[in-house]
Amino acid sequence: MPDTTGPLLHSFIPVRPGSHFPIQNLPYGVFQPLAGGEPRIGTAIGEYVLDLAELEKQGFFEEDDLLHGTGVFAKGALNAFMKLGRPAWTQARERLSRLLRSDEAALRDNAAIRKAVFFRHDEVLMKLPADIGDYTDFYSSKEHAANVGTMFRGADKALMPNWLYLPVGYHGRSSSVVASGAPVYRPSGQTKGEEDETPVFGPSKLLDFELEMGFFTGPGNELGKPIPADEAENHIFGMVIVNDWSARDIQKWEYVPLGPFLSKDFCTSVSPWVVTLDALEPFRTVGPRQDPEPLAYLQTGERQTYDIELEVMLRCRGMDEDQRICRSNFRYLYWSMVQQLAHQTITGCNVRPGDLYASGTISGPDPESYGSMLELTWRGSRPLKLPTGEERKFLHDGDTVTMTGWCEGDGYTVGFGEVTGEIR
């Protein structure tokens, strides 16, 4: 199998040091040229987007039996490509890696084709990567669950009895998943203060971000046929950064007994570039020790997570630059992606191409790694200090939250770009 992740690989497209998009990455996304044209599939390389629909039209996939004639790259969503499965995904990656290498002339030496297939990032609008049929949000960070449980129930009841036995999750609202850059409108709903006899209606006063990562599914399974944990990776197309915005005051009043509803249905933001598991393979690592041992259907190999550095930046009105407020890592998650997918389908639930699964808030062991304002300010008791002299317990209108994530390779970086949203 051709090497697509080695540190010695170089593209003929210049890639600046620290770029999230070297030849070792090659993520997939949906873009639309600002000059006009329909949305279609591309990959990111350095400061450019490579138009895969035009490559397909020009015959560059004719030798690839799993891709030739499918037309999947001319679509306005990745679903059709996701449905083809891992062998086709790997074949496409190998073809793109070969075409972009510095020692390959097919694209490098054809000025007319290069002009047709390459766009600068500032020449395109990035769209949602997929038509998302279903969206599940998990609650898989032990540190986050313990922090929240301690705040609301006390340290002796921080984790609910089921938490160490299964990946807790709930069904989210796929219609309100938006691409990075879309505005986030402050939701209204019922809230009830500690001293109030009855609830009141109005805008959320405790609007929060949640640092998460998510994965999109590929071929899927038939209704009634679970996906075993040891086969789950064949159904995971790739990963994105997720900001699952949360209205804490609405959530507190509504979540008993069925869980979040209006507090989560108003907006979920995702990064536009989907990074494949093939690109992340060099960064595979061991997750937290699971005790008690999971039930048999949730047992997996040890190296089922990835070393992905995560950051959250906040910019408020009057600030000249972003302020970093969180530094965390994907490897902190207690429940892995394969366990999440195996648990979701153990009932026979069917998964479809383009379904989105989010990790839940990713918090680490120290306060700087807490992945929400709720934790960073400890329910508002320890406000964040801003360069403007202001404080933040939760998010104000006009605040912009930007999340980013990356893996550090040997002389290169595999990154996810960013997901950003402004509160309005």
CA–CA gap between residue 153 and residue 170 (Å, rounded)? 21
The residues, ordered by sequence, that sit 6+ positions from 258 with a Cβ below 8 Å of its Cβ are none
| Beta-strand pair 268-270/28-33 | unpaired
CA–CA gap between residue 256 and residue 23 (Å, rounded)? 48
Smallest Cα–Cα separation from 172: which of 360, 362, 424?
360
CA–CA gap between residue 147 and residue 275 (Å, rounded)? 30
235-249: burial string, b at 16+ Cβ within 10 Å, e else: bbbbbbbbbbbbbbb
Q: What is the number of other CB atoms lying within 10 angstroms of the CB of residue 277?
A: 19
Cα atoms in the Cβ-side hemisphere of radius 13 Å centred on 116: 12
CB 33 within 8 A of CB 115: no
E-strand spans in 330-399? 356-358, 384-385, 391-392
343 a catalytic residue: no
The residue from 144, 171, 235, 343 that is catalytic is: 144
Beta bridge partners of 243: 211, 269
CA distances from 263 to 126, 246, 405 (A): 27, 6, 25
User: What is the sign, positive or negative, of the torsion defined by CA atoms of 230, 235, 237, 242?
Assistant: negative
Residues annotated as catalytic (active site), given as ranges: 144
